[in-house]
Amino acid sequence: MQDKTEGKQKPKDQQSGASEKNLVVAGQSVTRTDDPAKVTGGLMYGADYAHEGFLHGKILRSPHPHALIKSIDTKKAEALKGVAAVLTGKDVPGRNGFGAILPDQPVICEDKVRYVGDGVALVAADTEEIAHEALSLIRVEYEVLPAVFDPRDALKPDAPKVHEAGNLLSDNKLRKGDVEKGFLEADIIMERTYQVPFLEHAYLEPDVTLAVPQPDGTMLVEGPMQAPFTVRRNLAAVLGVPVNRVRARQIHMGGGFGGKEDSPIDIGCRAAVLAFHTGRPVRIALEREEVTLQTCKRHPMIMEIKIGARKDGKLLAFEGVIYDEQGAYAGLGPIIPPAGGSHIHSMVMMPGPYEIPHAKVDAYLCYTNHPYGGAMRGFGAPQVHIAHEQMMDELAAELELDPLHIRRINAFRLGSATATGQVLDQSVGLLDTLDACAESFGWEERFGQNEYVDAESCKRRGIGVGMGWYRTSIGTAGDGCGANISVHEDGSVLLYSGITEMGQGAFTVLPQICAEALGVAMEDVRLVKPDTDQVPESGPTVGSRSTTLMGNAIIMAAAQVKSSILEMASEMLRVPAERLEAKDRLVYDRDDTRKSLAFKEVAARCMATGKRLIGQGWWTPPAASLDPETGQGNPYFVYTYSTHMAEVLVDVETGEVEVTDYVAAFDVGKAINPKALEGQIEGGVAMGLGYALMEEVAMVEGIPQNINLQDYLIPTTLDMPDVKPIVLEVENKLGPYGAKGIGEMPNIPATPAILNAITDACGGRVRSLPADPEHVFMAIREAGGPPER
Amino acid sequence: MNALTLSFTLNGNEVSIEISPNTLLVDLLRDNLRLTGTKVGCRDGECGACTVLLDGTPVNSCILPAAKVQGRSVTTIEGLAHENGQLSEIQEAFMHEGAAQCGFCTPGMIMNSTALLEKNPQPDDQEIRESLSGTLCRCTGYRKIVQAVVTAGEMKKSQG
């Protein structure tokens, strides 16, 4: 059994500081706290809870992507035995609208539908079968309207209006330097257009929600959810009650990837409205097909790039246009304080992790009559990376440069200024990832060796590189995260955090940080699961923010308790508190380690004498900024960097692609749990591979065609190469033990690395995804046929 | 429809239960018998999260009529631990390798792996990947899952 992991490596400069300080729990590959329940089938997911006594909620969706509702007849459905409620738009007690950022999606549509996932009536019944039958008895009369399915069409003056205010939801600009001047100085100017389709998250667990009216009038909503506080905020408005009359509790999630930021609001509001009317618990469990039809998707985009460079490869000017398709509702697209949207993130990231003196981006976010765009692992970054990373390769090819060389001379380094004018003043390990990846992959030896595998074969080998960066935190419009800690007289600890577990390992990494910060053992810490009645506001579990923001909040909370512990131990040991250290269940004198006490002994004395043993941490990143006219400022406080390299075999006769080798290097600041972090990398690469080669929600006249997992393909064991992760640690001075975010980064450079490898292998370039056999075959044909032998 | 009396062996125990003839195995397990370790991801027989063993062979319980298990033996994730409560090698290996992330595919993966290891205690990488290709995972990229199967095989071997 050969372990291909390179493990942690030292970057060449910006050596880690705090991250190496004698850590006991943080930095260890601790077994995940939820593993025993997962491997025995004991872990309870939303669908696993007994639902005797629950009503079953179902949503009648529109068959048309754009139509006026002329009438709804619910009489027959209401008369059906076992039906407890049939609701239409007029029945929503408060605001008839929800949304993570802008509440523009009706809980139940009253006058108009804007996509085929729109709900026009809700049913609650004793069984799912009766609820289904009730839906079939509802008669809705529609007047079908002309629809719009392309963001460029949506901007035309005569386009059908999806919303009254017009189809342009957000129009954003980035202006740095003078691009015209840059293009005048350039030896070469190239223009390309890249296009990406809708993507489905395809989390394995279909959405489910339980709305349970409480005796005191509070509404409890439970289910898998990434953003309990956003769910609560929306529910309160929809029910017309104060925020403190709603309680949102997270049940362990079977995958989210950003999708379960929006969808629990959608079904949570609907279940709650049914529960409000019936006074009974209501359960809505979406079927797989409903998940695809109704919930958010990764935004499709059309991306135009004009790039200018010197003949040595140095970038001088970048001009980009993004037509970002929002679909029917705002979802997580636009920027409206206090929430940041994916659209701004796309704009900020579009010029790539490169120093470019002159940059200009125009980004249009447009409503259409398609399903709506939401967060999906990378939040607007994967799309633009597909554009700029292919552009870099196309430029390199035109200049006859090694794709690595052109990246190396332009890549961010310490002190670089981004396209928003942000000076990167710490934790910039991009070039370190390039070097480590190239060395491990053997780029120099392999580059230019693109050949047919043998004289008879129609398979040709190629390699490709993709570089990337990703923010930590929500940024742009503010972020903040709270944690509470209480230590008990026996030394045991409760950690209260609103960060959710969706498989990424937060319920393991956060207790690790807590144990390290207090000086106790991992098993001494019990995490109180996200429940808006119990945990402090923590923000959503998104934006690769959990480890860093919550980690910092935990360390702040721990510091408050620890000061009590050290003061008390100082009295007990008669040693100045400054000389004391708390580590691994002991409090001891650094200068004379024989002088020590058990942590629990000190905690017991604190409790007995009335010393504070609770801590409350609140961490806010440095203020973010972004000028609305120029797109200049510091939108996020730190970034994670990465380089990926892939080898592919392309069958030049069929267009089939096989990824045969893969190395992915990351600068993560500090790996708090290296094994869990590797898991993030390997899984992220799989998602990026799916984006490159097979994934697309195919739309025909606004209707998703491949709505189950038989037709919407995601990578299987046979599609995946043996990914080799490399982890570098360039300390983030603002992170817990030096850490920064990782969750979203791994899938971002994967897609362009594979696309670039395909071109290296077969000569054709797929600029409109996915690079499935048909598209690859056509690209080879456009390139003038397969390369000569 | 007339109720049907179904008798079969479930995780080593004899079970006899009245069901409606159109009941699917997964619903019998999850709703009637409250064994919720077996997951439902698609109800199409595509994702493999509902995999259980029928006389030792992996089947998608979401498309199998429960009536088909009459007189046969069904094993679910809840039935894998040894009699003394100790976890099976593949369960241990999944934890050791960090092969579970969200965990939703884990029961199906473990059931498929169990059947494979029973047939072939030392499978190579390709055999493992082929055996598990019908079980989807969106989190892990499969590398640690494949590694867990290798490790479980080695654990079995070393324990003789």
pLDDT of residue B159: 81
Please give, rounded to a whole number of angstroms, the shortest distance from the CA of A581 to a CA of chain B.
Answer: 32
Please give, rounded to a whole number of angstroms, the shortest distance from the CA of A447 to a CA of chain B.
Answer: 26
Are B4-79 and B89-159 in the same CATH fold? no
Cis peptide before A338 (omega within 30 of 0): yes
Q: CATH fold of B4-79, please? A: Ubiquitin-like (UB roll) (3.10.20)
| A188 SS3 class | strand
Instruction: Determine the Cα–Cα distance for residues A541 and B28; give it in Å rounded to an integer.
Output: 35
Q: Are strands A168-176 and A297-298 parallel, antiparallel or unpaired?
A: unpaired
pLDDT of residue B85: 87
Q: Where are the domains of chain B?
A: 4-79, 89-159
Average pLDDT of chain A to the nearest whole number: 95
pLDDT of residue A1: 35
Kind plus residue range of the DSSP H or E element containing A576:
none
How far is C-alpha B109 from the chain's CA centre? Answer: 7
Please give, rounded to a whole number of angstroms, the shortest distance from the CA of B155 to a CA of chain A.
Answer: 12
- Chain A, chain B: beta-carbon pairs less than 8 Å apart: 173
pLDDT of residue A11: 52
- Considering only CB atoms, A32 lies closest to which of B47, B98, B143, namely B98
pLDDT of residue A3: 41
Does the beta-carbon distance from B81 to A40 stay under 8 Å?
A: yes
DSSP at B38? S
Which residue of B lies nearest to A1 if distances are taken between CA atoms? B150
Q: How far is CA A412 from CA A341, A656, A714, A735, in A?
A: 24, 35, 33, 20
Contact residues on chain A for B142, CB-CB shorter than 8 A: 682, 686, 716-717, 720
Instruction: Determine the Cα–Cα distance for residues A652 and A634; give it in Å rounded to an integer.
Output: 46
The answer to whether residues A156 and A145 touch, using CB atoms and an 8 Å cutoff, is no
Does the beta-carbon distance from A255 to B104 stay under 8 Å?
A: yes
Q: pLDDT higher for A16 or A667?
A: A667
Please give, rounded to a whole number of angstroms, the shortest distance from the CA of B121 to a CA of chain A.
Answer: 15
Calculate Rg over the CA atoms of chain A: 27
| A733 token code pair | 């001075």
Contact residues on chain B for A39, CB-CB shorter than 8 A: 77, 87, 91-92, 94-95, 100, 106, 110
Instruction: Determine the Cα–Cα distance for residues A590 and A575; give it in Å rounded to an integer.
Output: 10
Least confident stretch, A12-26, A117-131, A503-517: A12-26
Instruction: Determine the Cα–Cα distance for residues B65 and B52; give it in Å rounded to an integer.
Output: 13
Does the beta-carbon distance from A682 to B128 stay under 8 Å?
A: no
Does the beta-carbon distance from A41 to B38 stay under 8 Å?
A: yes
> Residue A623: pLDDT band by 50, 70, 90 thresholds?
confident
The answer to whether residues A212 and A278 touch, using CB atoms and an 8 Å cutoff, is no
pLDDT of residue A15: 45
pLDDT at A430 over 60: yes
| A738 token code pair | 């030096």
The whole-number average pLDDT for the span A741-751 is 97
pLDDT, tens digit, 9 for 90 and up, residues B101-127: 999 999 999 999 999 999 999 999 999
Which residue of B lies nearest to A290 if distances are taken between CA atoms? B42
Cβ count near A724 (within 10 Å): 23
Q: Does domain B89-159 have CATH number 1.10.150.120?
A: yes
Query: Which among A362, A257, A250 is positioned nearest to A304, based on CA atoms?
Result: A362
How far is C-alpha A660 from the chain's CA centre? Answer: 27
| A294 token code pair | 């109704």
Instruction: Determine the Cα–Cα distance for residues A16 and A592; give it in Å rounded to an integer.
Output: 28
pLDDT at A83 over 60: yes
Name the pTM for this structure: 0.97
Kind plus residue range of the DSSP H or E element containing A218:
none
The whole-number average pLDDT for the span A165-193 is 97
Instruction: Determine the Cα–Cα distance for residues A707 and A289; give it in Å rounded to an integer.
Output: 5
> Residue A4: pLDDT band by 50, 70, 90 thresholds?
very low
The answer to whether residues A148 and A155 touch, using CB atoms and an 8 Å cutoff, is no
Longest dimension (CA), chain B: 53
Least confident stretch, A13-17, A39-43, B29-33: A13-17
- B-interface mutation test, from A32, A39, A298, A744, most B Cβ less than 10 A away: A39
The whole-number average pLDDT for the span A371-400 is 98
- A-interface mutation test, from B75, B80, B125, B138, most A Cβ less than 10 A away: B138
- Considering only CB atoms, B91 lies closest to which of A39, A204, A718, namely A39
> Residue A243: pLDDT band by 50, 70, 90 thresholds?
very high
Does the beta-carbon distance from B44 to A708 stay under 8 Å?
A: yes
The answer to whether residues A668 and A680 touch, using CB atoms and an 8 Å cutoff, is no
- Considering only CB atoms, A1 lies closest to which of B77, B141, B150, namely B150
pLDDT of residue A19: 44
pLDDT of residue A2: 38
pLDDT of residue A14: 56
Average pLDDT of chain B to the nearest whole number: 96
Extended strands (E) in A540-620: 580-583, 586-589, 592-598, 614-619
The whole-number average pLDDT for the span B74-92 is 95
pLDDT of residue A48: 98
Annotate A530-549 with DSSP letters as a single string: PBTTTSPP---S-TT-IIII
Percentage, residues of chain A above pLDDT 70: 96
